[in-house]
Amino acid sequence: MDIAIKDGKIVEKVDEKKAEVVDASGMIVMPGGVDIHCHIAGAEVNSGRLLRPEDHVKDVEVKTALTRSGVGYSIPSTFTTGYRYSRMGYTTVMNPSMPPLEARHTHEELDDTPMVDKATYPLLGDWWFVLEHLRDGLIEECAAHVAWMMTATKGYAIKIVNPGGLESWGFGRNVKSLDDHVPYFNITPREILRGLCKVNKLLNLPHTIHVHTNNLGKPGNYITALETMKCVEDLADGNRPVIHITHCQFCAFKGSDWQTMSSGAEEIAKYVNHHNHVTLDMGQVIFTDTTTMTADGPFQYGLYTLTGNKWVNHDVETETTSGIVPFRYKRKSAVHATQWSIGLELALLIKDPWKIYMTTDHPNGGPFTAYPNIIAWLMSRVARKKTLSKISKRARRKSLLPSIDRELSFYELAIVTRAGQAKALSLTQKGHLGVGADADVAVYNVNPEQVDPSKKYKTVRRAFKRAAYTIKGGEIVAKDGQIVRPIFGKTFWVDVKTSLPTEVNDDLKRKFREYWTVEYENYSIPDRFLHVPAPIPVKAEV
């Protein structure tokens, strides 16, 4: 069918005599790609760049008449990040981990990331005032505080990382279960998760709570992942999800140590197939050299002791922690190869593609530029078999992949790479090509009716690496993998309308003076600070 575009939107029809025609016959047309979780901007990413000079040497983005130069393989510079997403047909990306105190830096870098619309999630799971409010059972006060926080940091969703564990890390400790107590605050991960889930509902935020579970990256942690999903089961609203478990591969490990580590994907898939209150993204591992970075400070310390590699550890005042460690995933490592298998198992065993989305947790599982490889694995048994034949024997023996015949169709692929992600984010103008949608379109040079099944993986890998056309807001911005028109994307943030008192009181101002290095007056980011601010008005329940 014809798709008509006018003034940046998909419309019913246009004047055909005057319109510019893009002939996409024999190709696949999809909405622009949407990435729900990729670390592309902010203090953490930038520290990663400083830590990895070797990452810059091996991958250089050459300047053209239209585009800027850049460097970086696993942590590309901002402009390079925008160009590379655009070349693959992506038009919207979400930066998932922003310490509120670092919001200014994060938005500066997001503004410097061209070609895509974007948003970012403030880390609130270990924020002192959230912990205090939830400990005291003050859900509405906490909601008012979070509403203020979203506006102050220009945030989009509530991010929770290792709830309670990050504050415990300030005391040199961690939490091991959902019912462990956080030192001083006397609150448990379960109470944080449930409290913020309630706050999220009260404020009617467009996305659910976005959760990196406790015990991430440890053998046996699939139990924690299941308990995390279960702990908000009773807060479900009919079929509307109330929790997103991010990079689920990293919390789907069975076993009691690294020797016995195996896949817990079957158990997680079984649960998700029977429940509608949860969505997930994969956190797929790629066999390559990359840089891990997360707010989960204690996890990164563990990774540092495991690898002996370079390490950055950071305590962000009253707010959160973070850590960075370079990492190489090896085919011949039983653990790494099992991780590779788990990501794909989750995506293939969870029946409904609207529940699990494609990510690498860039750059944690590998750089986002590897998406075409993941697409090949998801769509082709042959591609999986080929990689399986090269991995560690022990991992191959344990892998569930040989028993899985499923190959995603192009429709399912469109769901796991854009439609599902847009829906989970309530970005109602993204992820589809209906009238009224943003004219963000990706055209891939592959004809589904003529794909040779034995060569399918090669065909799709090539097609999704370089979109034939990427159209952003109605403009052709990339063609055959070349940037032809550099543009600036918007930054979405939620502007919560609530009857709760969100003006900051003297008590908080006093705390700013006592606890932070930044004064309250310098903390909030004004709208005008953003290049193209796109506030999304949200009406709270209270």
Please name the residue that has the structure tokens 């970012």.
Answer: 120
Total residues at interface with Zn ion (CB under 5 A): 1
Minimum gap (Å) between residue 491 Cβ and Zn ion: 19
Q: Return all residues near 265 (Cβ < 8 A) that are at least 6 apart.
A: 222, 252, 342, 345, 346, 349, 400
Q: What is the DSSP letter of 219?
A: T
Burial-class residue 42 by CB neighbours within 10 Å (0-12, 13-18, 19+).
buried
Length of the chain: 542
Minimum gap (Å) between residue 413 Cβ and Zn ion: 22
Nearer to Zn ion by C-beta: 364 or 429?
364
In the complex, residue closest to Zn ion by CB: 361
Q: Distance between CA atoms of 2 and 5, rounded to whole angstroms?
A: 10
Minimum gap (Å) between residue 358 Cβ and Zn ion: 14
Minimum gap (Å) between residue 92 Cβ and Zn ion: 17
Binding mask 98-137 for Zn ion (x = CB under 5 A): ----------------------------------------
Nearer to Zn ion by C-beta: 296 or 438?
296
Minimum gap (Å) between residue 428 Cβ and Zn ion: 25
Nearer to Zn ion by C-beta: 319 or 361?
361
Q: By CB under 5 A, is residue 296 in contact with Zn ion?
A: no
Minimum gap (Å) between residue 346 Cβ and Zn ion: 16
Give the range of 311-319, 339-347, 360-368, 484-492 binding Zn ion by CB under 5 A: 360-368
Give the range of 104-112, 263-271, 348-356, 359-367 binding Zn ion by CB under 5 A: 359-367
Give the range of 7-15, 228-236, 361-369, 521-529 binding Zn ion by CB under 5 A: 361-369
E strands of 58-89, at which residues?
A: 60-61, 70-71
Give the range of 13-21, 162-170, 354-362, 468-476 binding Zn ion by CB under 5 A: 354-362
370, 414, 434, 310: which is closest to 1 by C-alpha? Answer: 434
Q: Return all residues near 344 (Cβ < 8 A) that are at least 6 apart.
A: 282, 284, 374, 377, 378, 384, 401
Nearer to Zn ion by C-beta: 210 or 384?
210
Nearer to Zn ion by C-beta: 126 or 361?
361
Rg (CA), the chain: 22
Nearer to Zn ion by C-beta: 111 or 361?
361
E strands of 123-252, at which residues?
A: 159-161, 209-212, 243-245
> How many C-alpha atoms does 88 have within 13 Å on its Cβ side?
24
329, 280, 278: which is closest to 74 by C-alpha? Answer: 329
The residue from 44, 55, 117, 361 that contacts Zn ion (CB under 5 A) is 361
Q: What is the DSSP letter of 437?
A: S
Minimum gap (Å) between residue 296 Cβ and Zn ion: 9
Contact residues: Zn ion, CB under 5 A: 361
